[in-house]
Structure 1
Amino acid sequence: MTDARPEQAGKRRAAYRRGHRAEWLALAALMLKGYWPIGRRVSFAGGEIDLVVQRWNTIAFVEVKARSRRDDAREAIDAAKKRRFSRAVRSWIGHNPWCTSMTFRADAVFVGAREWPAHVADAFTIEGL
């Protein structure tokens, strides 16, 4: 009998590396559009924000999704993810009073293999804000 755990661990490591790569590509694409990074992989209140970027008076909280096809990545943000993301955003704002006069937005960047990242501004609503 073989143990499937090493195979599962390898898949998790590959997904983790793919996620890091996608976040760096997303950040590069956003910086080319004039956004400045404020935070990366920020965890608050049981949720994670992949990227926090600012352009002028707008702070964008960015969810990055990577799949082999960029169109598949677009379908990967479900209601539970939006709730956790929104909870983390509200907590981040509460811990950063300097930004209370800013405009807040939930963006998404979708990354596919051998495709330039697709940035969607205001991809979904930040719940409770």
Structure 2
Amino acid sequence: MRAAARPWRRKLGAQSRSGGRRAEWIALIWLMLKGWRILGFRLKTPQAEIDILALRGRVLAVVEVKSRASLEAALEAVSADQRERLRRAGRTLAARRADLSGKAVRLDLVALAPGRRPRHLADAWPEA
């Protein structure tokens, strides 16, 4: 029989989820202030969950949001597997919607760090 989850672990997990949701809202507002049109927020697709799907001009950005101590830590927090799943999810969504046909799909990052302004890194992980 499995032991019940320790109360401190539940509390830590809840704090982590709450902080992640707060970071996503901050990133969403930040992108809107920069002129991005938000098409989706916390989108669940068969390939991956997209934090934010945003459009500006001919660019459809699949935006991953990370709250870490540094930009480097945020970049490293997204594995190559996750990046590929996010790219596939973005391409699939673009292919299914006529209004997104012909848009360039890219993977962006909004990194948040304590005491600093959000940082939007366009094409954070360019394809090789």
Q: Give the TM bin, normalised by the shorter chain.
A: 0.7 to 0.9
The one-letter amino acid paired with 1:118 is R
User: Structure 1 regions of 5+ residues with no counterpart?
Assistant: none
Closer, same or farther: CA 95–13 of 1 in aligned 2, 3 Å: farther
Residue 57 of structure 2: aligned partner: 56
Deviations 1:78-107 (A, max 9, x none): 112112212322332233232112222211
- Contact 1:44–1:91, Cα closer than 8 Å, also in 2: no
CA RMSD after TM alignment: 2.1
Show structure 2 runs of 5+ residues with no match: none
Match of 1:28 in 2: 29
TM value normalised by structure 1: 0.84
Q: Residues 104 and 83 from structure 1, CA distance in 2 versus in 1: closer, same or farther, beyond 3 angstroms?
A: closer
Deviations 1:13-58 (A, max 9, x none): 1111111111111112111211111100111114111001111222
SS of structure 2 residue aligned to 1:109: strand
> Does 2:96 correspond to 1:95?
yes
- Give 1:42's aligned residue: 43
Aligned length: 126
TM-score normalised by length of structure 2? 0.85
CA–CA separation in structure 2 for the residues paired with 1:69 and 1:4 = 31
Distance (whole Å) between structure 1 residues aligned to residue 104 and residue 85 of structure 2 = 20
Shift of the 8–46 alpha-carbon distance from structure 1 to 2, 3 Å rule, reads: farther
- Distance, in Å, in 2 between the alignment partners of 1:75 and 1:102 is 27
Equivalents in 1 of 2:73, 2:126: separation in Å? 21
